[in-house]
């Protein structure tokens, strides 16, 4: 089994925020592949199904971002995931990438992201694949925490659907081609949104 995890915070208050774009990406991937979150387990929303002959689990931890690793570790203890270093993909927001830019990596540090830090702590290593979705940085003296917990701008909202589709494409590339081929394609082809459109 492959496990795809989106990072975010539970509840309606956070649903449309930049910090929850990991949830949005996994939901778009699930929708395209007729997967559904059918149960609440592992301290999160969980579903499983077949995608092109591969058994896939989808998980949205509901522990709040800083404790995401608890949910993922619980899922990995129970599910038939042979090797999380090969079979786990985590989707998160990233303020160091411009809005709409995607970046895939086979491992690495948390990069200041508390959700990724929690996963590294609970899994005992950082060798899992991750797909980062750029949300940009605030212009001017705006607190970064407040920025990621706010919604997208009107201009970003107009482009968000297409960007979510690109991110779902990236998950499918990882699923069928493995992290190295997917990474090469995603990191080469992904372009940030046009700034004049995103800012409007």
Q: Is 19 a catalytic residue?
A: yes
How far apart are alpha carbons 168 and 164 in whole angstroms? 6
| pLDDT, average across residues 150-155 | 94
From 47-51, 56-60, 187-191, the region with the lowest mean pLDDT? 187-191
Give the model's confidence band at 108: pLDDT under 50 very low, under 70 low, under 90 confident, else very high: very high
Burial (CB count <10 Å: 0-12, 13-18, 19+), residue 4: buried
Residues 16 and 39: their CA atoms lie apart, in Å, by 22
Given this model, what pLDDT does residue 198 score?
58
Distance, CA of 52 to CA of 146 (rounded, Å):
40
**Residue 20 confidence (pLDDT) above 90:** yes
Query: Once rounded to an integer, what is the mean pLDDT over residues 80-99?
Result: 96
Band of residue 199 on the pLDDT scale cut at 50, 70, 90: low
What's the mean pLDDT in 84-101?
Answer: 96
DSSP secondary structure letter of residue 18: G
Does 194 have pLDDT greater than 70?
no
pLDDT at 191: 87
Domains in the chain with CATH codes:
2-198 (3.40.50.1470)
Give pTM, 2 decimals. Answer: 0.94
The pLDDT value recorded for residue 195 is 60
Task: Give me the mean pLDDT over the 66-85 stretch.
Answer: 96
pLDDT at residue 112 tops 80: yes
Per-residue pLDDT averaged across 183-197, rounded? 82
**pLDDT score for 95:** 94
The lowest-confidence range among 17-31, 57-71, 77-91, 133-147 is 133-147
Q: What's the confidence (pLDDT) of residue 92?
A: 97
Q: Which of 2, 4, 17, 19 is catalytic?
A: 19
Give one word for 124, left, alpha or beta, with left for phi > 0 and alpha for psi -120 to 50: left
Q: Is the pLDDT of residue 26 over 80?
A: yes
Q: What's residue 142's pLDDT? A: 72
Q: Which pLDDT score, from 0 to 100, does residue 46 have?
A: 98
Residue 42 has pLDDT above 70, yes or no: yes
């Amino acid at each position: 089994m492959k496990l795809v995890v989106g990072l975010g915070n539970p509840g309606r208050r956070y649903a449309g925020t930049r910090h929850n774009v990991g949830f949005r990406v996994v939901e778009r991937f699930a929708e395209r592949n007729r997967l559904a979150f059918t149960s609440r387990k592992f301290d999160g929303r969980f579903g499983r199904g077949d995608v092109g002959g591969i058994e896939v689990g989808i998980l949205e931890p509901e522990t709040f971002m800083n404790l995401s690793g608890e949910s993922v570790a619980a899922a990995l203890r129970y599910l038939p995931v042979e090797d999380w270093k090969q079979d786990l993909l985590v989707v998160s927001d990233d303020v160091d990438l411009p809005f709409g830019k995607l970046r895939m990596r086979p491992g690495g540090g948390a990069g200041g992201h508390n959700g990724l830090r929690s996963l590294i702590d609970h899994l005992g290593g950082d060798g899992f694949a991750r797909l980062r979705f750029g949300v940009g940085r605030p212009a001017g003296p705006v607190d970064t925490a407040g920025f990621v917990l706010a919604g997208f701008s009107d201009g970003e909202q107009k482009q968000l659907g297409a960007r979510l589709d690109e991110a779902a494409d990236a998950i499918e590339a990882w699923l069928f081609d493995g992290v190295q081929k997917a990474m090469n394609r995603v990191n080469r082809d992904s372009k940030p949104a046009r700034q004049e459109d995103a800012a409007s």
